[in-house]
Structure 1
Amino acid sequence: MDIDVVMPCLNEAEALPWVLGRLPRGFHAIVVDNGSADGSAKIAAELGATVVSEPRRGFGAACHAGLTAAASDVVCFMDADASLDPEQLPRVCGPVVSGAAGLVLGRRVLRPGASWPVHARLGNAVLAATLRRRTGAPLHDLGPMRAGGRRELIGLGLVDRRFGYPLEMVLRAAEAGWRIGEAEVDYLPRKGRSKVTGTVRGTLRAIGDMRRVMARRAG
């Protein structure tokens, strides 16, 4: 079974060769260029990835553009910054392929040298606890490596196009009665500075987006 891997990308030229070079056999990258100015799209194409251009800025916009461009029955998502190892994708998509789960998230395990600031880890822990209470899903991390069925994910009708997208995916999947699980994956030193967790401002922006998603789903 071939599996498409959606990778939102904003100026990840330094990381892409390592990331794309570690994709397991049977996994194909869809790199969604979200306005890069460092030649990321050209590098991705030269390394064999399908490149999709999404001019509207936003993490959710890039993820959804990749999802709609995918063709495989099961689709994975992961960041293109080398903070996650593509070789571990089978851990995450395995339960979806076997039918044991409808959605699986990678639970990040901090490895030496990785940067996960305290403010970001605390916000993530609070969010995960809220999700456990609200959905009953055994989640401890709202991580960016995840997998689900392509048609099923499209059918969720996700509307957020910012940092609330991954949260909305979990909430809607839970509301639809999906089995949701997680699998441990290594969290590694990324290339360059994170657009979200690297700054308090970025983290607060992401939290704001997620709060809006929570409020909409509660209403």
Structure 2
Amino acid sequence: MTKINVIIPAYNEGSSIAQVVNDIPKTVDEVIVVNNNSTDDTEINAQKAGATILTEEKKGYGYACLKGMSYIANKKEKPEIVVFLDGDYSDYPEELDKIVAPIIEKNIDFVVGARVKKLRAEGSMTYPQILGNYLATSLMKLFFGSTFTDLGPFRAIKYVKLLGLKMEDKTYGWTVEMQLKVLKQKLSYIEVPVHYRNRIGVSKVSGTVKGAIFAGIKILGWIFKYSFKK
């Protein structure tokens, strides 16, 4: 059976994290929750739900993801697939099996769970998120001939390919960096439509003006960096 690890960056997701962990299919070997300097009961609730708990005190989505990757790198038995999933319960963790299916069945390198409009709950994506996704994916199509339509955080990738990306972004640019490097390295990829609902709690990015602005700057910065990089 294919060995799968899940990395969940979590900052103050105490009210949702247990539901996220509990809804992950049993096909997953290990669920890794990276407590990103939370001030609530994120850690204890994730632990009670059966997740492995890591602590990353430096705030940032990328910092948390890199912490999870570092943990996996030091494991004796490495996974074949790593899945990234948010801890706010906006995604449907039970859809993980269909996210990893193209990798297992068709040998695809990278899969993004695309939050298509017909499967999204009303209001589940803010206007800045929708606009940012459209702008970023349009630029990737223009510069790289990409077919991406979303920067969805629910994603799966072969572990060996993930290592080859040499991920480095520490904050808001993590998802777009990954997709740009997949394009630059000409890895095979596909999008799988997924359901999306209103998150539990307030978004740390799209829920604030500062977060939305800095996320937009980061995303555009990565795109233009790779567009003119030989």
Q: What TM-score comes out, normalization by structure 2 length?
A: 0.89
Cα contact 1:160–1:213 (8 A) shared by 2: no
Confirm or deny that 1:79 pairs with 2:102. no
Match of 1:39 in 2: 41
Match of 1:166 in 2: 175
Confirm or deny that 1:178 pairs with 2:187. yes
Following superposition, the deviation at residue 114 of structure 1 comes to: 4.3
Residue type matched to 1:46 in 2? K
RMSD: 1.5
Deviations 1:146-176 (A, max 9, x none): 0101122112111211111111111111111
Cα contact 1:119–1:200 (8 A) shared by 2: no
Deviates more, 1:104-113 or 1:151-160: 104-113
Aligned counterparts of 1:80 and 1:108: Cα–Cα separation in 2: 16
1:94–1:50: structure 2 CA closer, same or farther, 3 Å change rule? same
Deviations 1:167-217 (A, max 9, x none): 111111111110121000111111100111122321111011122222332
Following superposition, the deviation at residue 76 of structure 1 comes to: 0.4
Cα contact 1:138–1:180 (8 A) shared by 2: no
Which of 110, 122, 128 is the equivalent residue of 1:103? 110
Match of 2:11 in 1: 10
Match of 2:166 in 1: 157
Match of 2:75 in 1: none
Match of 1:119 in 2: 128
Moved over 4 A (4+): none
Secondary structure class of the residue paired with 1:187: coil
For structure 2, the residue ranges without an aligned partner over 5 or more in a row are 73-77
Aligned length: 219
Q: What TM-score comes out, normalization by structure 1 length?
A: 0.94
Aligned counterparts of 1:165 and 1:119: Cα–Cα separation in 2: 17
Confirm or deny that 1:130 pairs with 2:131. no
Secondary structure class of the residue paired with 1:64: helix
Aligned counterparts of 1:78 and 1:36: Cα–Cα separation in 2: 17
Following superposition, the deviation at residue 46 of structure 1 comes to: 1.7
Residue type matched to 1:84 in 2? D
**Could you tell me the percent identity over the aligned residues?**
32
Aligned counterparts of 2:81 and 2:220: Cα–Cα separation in 1: 28
Secondary structure class of the residue paired with 1:5: strand
1:177–1:11: structure 2 CA closer, same or farther, 3 Å change rule? same
Residue type matched to 2:41 in 1? G
Confirm or deny that 1:56 pairs with 2:55. no
For structure 1, the residue ranges without an aligned partner over 5 or more in a row are none
Residue type matched to 1:177 in 2? K
